[in-house]
Structure 1
Amino acid sequence: MKRLSILASALFLISSVTISCRDTSDKETIVREVEVEKEVKTPEEAEEKEGILERTAKEVDKEINKEIDEEIDKIGDDN
């Protein structure tokens, strides 16, 4: 029985040493640079991709900005 426990201990010790000292494979990380071309759009192309709500909102913004500018001109410069 004593031989069996010594043999089991030796087997456990040898297996743990060989497993823990094993070479681990290093993973290599490859980083690639990718160039992204920016699309140059003409105003007509940009309008085609916009929906009717976006175009309407732009027109309303222009009109409101004109009215605000007129009100500012009416008030004048207080300085």
Structure 2
Amino acid sequence: MMTQSMLRKIALASFIGMTAFGLAACEEEGPAEQAGENIDETMEEAGESMDDAVDQAGESVEEMGDSVEEAADEADSGY
């Protein structure tokens, strides 16, 4: 099963690929092409930021789970 992170990466890569292919067909770069490149860069940076945020959230949840497990072990050993 694919995770949301993987699906976002695939969608972002597809979008960038299609945009790059469309821009490669143009010989002269006008304002629309420059705007498209800026959008591509922004989308890529946003995707990277989202991936970082998801990774950090996952680490936080994992640490919280470890803390809960340790507390449960301590409570269990006290009886």
Give the TM interval when normalised to the shorter protein: 0.3 to 0.5
Task: Give the TM-score normalised by the residue count of structure 1.
Answer: 0.36
For CA contacts below 8 A with separation 6 or more, give which structure has more relative contact order: 2
Higher helix share: 2
Greater C-alpha Rg:
1
